[in-house]
Amino acid sequence: MPSIIRGYVRGVDAMNRFIGRLAMYLIFALIGVLMWSSVSKTFFDPTLWTLETAQFVMVAYYVLGGPYSIQMGSNVRMDLFYGDWSARQKAWMDAFTVLFLMFYLGVLLYGAIGSAAYSLGHFTGEPFSFFWQLFTTFITEGPSAAKEQMGFMERSPTAWRPYIWPVKAIMILGVTLMLLQVLAEFFRDIGRIRGEEI
């Protein structure tokens, strides 16, 4: 395999290992939020923010830990025939099926970008052009002009009413990292087919 592909696989693996290991500790934040929710409901007035905060932390935990899970091979697989195959046969099957996963993640990323644009007040048109205009406005005219361009920002319909864009930004980041990791796994499978280990 060319050195640029080896460098890509090692770089993506290192990045997702670092982010995945950090994301593992979000489970403790989730435990803390849920524990405070139980304590406040039992001894004090119930808090409004705990349920949605727990949901947002769980999204971050799941989405940011997904690429690391793929890297470690802990994702769920149908093992009816796969377990009896040789390493090369598994690599052939993985290299083929990962193309479907790449397509799915591409559609998911496009939807996440559109949803994030909607949460920032962009209700019509192409989300990529919205983000490009937002970026150029931020660079040329400053943050206040970019904020005016955003419009009405989406909030949760609950009593706490947090902004929705941070969790959508985490979804974009997580799906992008997963797409990069899946591409690295594809290159790793191609290497196994050729008899090389990356």
**What pLDDT digit, counting tens, does each position of 140-186 carry?**
998 888 888 887 888 888 888 899 999 999 999 999 999 999 999 99
> Mean pLDDT across the stretch 14-22?
96
Q: How many domains does the chain have?
A: 1
Asked, for residue 198, whether it belongs to a domain, the answer is: no
The confidence score (pLDDT) of residue 8 equals: 96
Asked, for residue 31, whether it belongs to a domain, the answer is: yes
Asked, for residue 16, whether it belongs to a domain, the answer is: yes
User: Is residue 196 exposed (0-12), middle (13-18) or buried (19+ Cβ within 10 Å)?
Assistant: exposed
Residues 115-130 pLDDT 10s: 999 998 887 778 888 8
Mean pLDDT, rounded, of the chain: 90
Identify which of 12, 105, 8, 20 has the alpha carbon closest to the alpha carbon of residue 66.
20
Q: Report which DSSP code applies to 155.
A: B
For 96, the domain range is 3-75+84-193
Neighbours of 90 (CB within 10 A): 17
Q: Could you give phi then psi for residue 56, rounded to 5 degrees? A: -65, -40
Asked, for residue 107, whether it belongs to a domain, the answer is: yes
**Which residue is associated with the tokens 């609950």?**
158
